[in-house]
Amino acid sequence: MFRRFTLVFSALALLATLFGSGVSVNAQGPAVQVISNLNVRTGPGIDYSQLGTIPHGITVYVEGRNRIGDWSLIYTPDGLTRGWVASRYLNWRDIDIATIPVSDAVITDVVTAPSDVTVASEDAPLTTIAREAPLYQGPAVNFPLQTNLPVGSDFVLEGRTGNNAMLLGRTSDGRWRGWVAADRIRPGVNTSSLPVLDEVIGSETVYQQFISRLESTPVMPTISAETRELFRAGLRLGLRPNVFSKSGDCHTDNMAYLLPFGVGEYDLGPYPELQETIDFFGVSPRDGVANSFVNESMAASSAFTAAAVMDRVWADPTHCAAGQAPFTCELQLLRPSIVLIEFGSADIQVYEVQDFSYYIEAVLDDALLQGVIPVLMTFPSNENYLWEKSLQFNIVLLDIAAERGLPLINLWAALRPLPNRGLEADNFHLSERPDGRFINFNGDQNQYGMAMRNLVSLQALRVLQRSLLTR
């Protein structure tokens, strides 16, 4: 535990030197700049519920901290968002966090603006989301959930319920349309002129939109400014650019996934350039382990969900400290620069979409607190097994990656042209060549789901290597 907090304070010192001005102090408390898209929670830790998100680049006021100092109580200048955020992602230049008063406040879901903040009334139809807003297909919270709209999203209003409790609208980019609770939009908006409606967004339309988004999202990750900042912070913390980790369920806890690259059992076929990436990650990540490809991850197990990987009950006591979650343990064992994360296939069997979103966010928070770049991966699915739910869960992954500026591998799209969408006859496990784990890119990637996953994973590692890790 002490070591983890030491890392957090080291990161704070580093980030203070990396990022320049944009910090001032006034009577409202120290004003600091947010340096990454950031979750706001009701209390100082990832076990507390999420109130919403605040975007990279805005200024917030700090009114308190927990005793350790790794979490800060903040509010936005408009007074609409107040809660706890990870201190590491605030620019503390010229401010000593020790001077911030200690607080044990736990925030309720109701956010009240300070008395000196006023919000001008305005007419519909354009407004913004003031608190993270579940977007439903119909005009009540018992209708299916489509997604969660983050704080700050522009929202074009179209209608309301008779009691003004729910509002129909769409995001300004046209990506989403549905119903939100009226208390989730910016206060002061006059909705009385909106027509009273009871429209229900058709499931067929919603899920076709999901499919279109998944099909149009690139397979390879993009490297955002936030990711570059995190990588630089990780280097200063001693993380190793030529070591990666992996976390996931049965698709990851599989000897056919990545391991053959570490023992020479592969044929790159038309992709000879990938040898450079195999060589780059060929160093030993920990004692007794030859390279990252063959490392048996503490954070990968056939039955793992995004919740289980953060549950200390499942940690290996021979490698993990008492009280450590498997995910935390794995990252501290390897000190990698990046971690490949794929959850969802097991999660859709036991959780609802809101739960999955919460648990994935907790996994990402833990990686970010340790300075490790989390690389999300969509998971495979087809029309024969929990199809609509799998689409919802994969959309959550797209949204989280976009909102946080994190790299994402769209495995779902890569598998789309393959027989049975890259799955075995059970419509759950990735299909594999029947004669063993040997990786052959002379056509296997177009036939077997595991071969395609190996290809896109290695290609993504190459993208990260060449555009980030070796620069």
Note the pLDDT of residue 20: 31
Per-residue pLDDT tens digits for 129-140: 988 889 999 999
- Please report the DSSP string for 343-374 in residue order: --TTGGGT--HHHHHHHHHHHHHHHHHTT-EE
Best mean pLDDT range from 6-15, 125-134, 441-450: 441-450
Q: Specify the 3-state DSSP secondary structure of 61.
A: strand
356 versus 52: which is more confidently predicted?
356
Note the pLDDT of residue 112: 41
- The mean pLDDT value of the chain amounts to 86
Q: Which residue ranges form the domains of the chain, and what is each CATH number?
A: 2-99 (2.30.30.40), 122-201 (2.30.30.40), 213-469 (3.40.50.1110)
Note the pLDDT of residue 21: 31
Per-residue pLDDT tens digits for 231-254: 999 999 999 999 999 999 999 999
- pLDDT exceeding 90 applies to what percent of the chain? 59
Integer Cα distance of 153 and 52 in angstroms:
11
398 versus 81: which is more confidently predicted?
398
Per-residue pLDDT tens digits for 69-100: 888 999 887 777 889 988 877 877 778 888 88
Note the pLDDT of residue 118: 36
**pLDDT interval class at 5 (50, 70, 90):** very low
Q: Is the dihedral of CA 52, 53, 54, 55 positive or negative?
A: negative
**Kind and range of the H or E run holding 112:** none
**Selection from 65, 59, 63 nearest residue 98 by Cα:** 65
Q: Is the dihedral of CA 216, 220, 221, 222 positive or negative?
A: negative
**Predicted TM-score of the model (pTM):** 0.68
Q: How many helices (H) and strands (E) does the chain have?
A: 10, 22
Structure-block tokens of residue 161: 């319920």
Strand partners, 135: 147
Q: Specify the 3-state DSSP secondary structure of 228.
A: helix
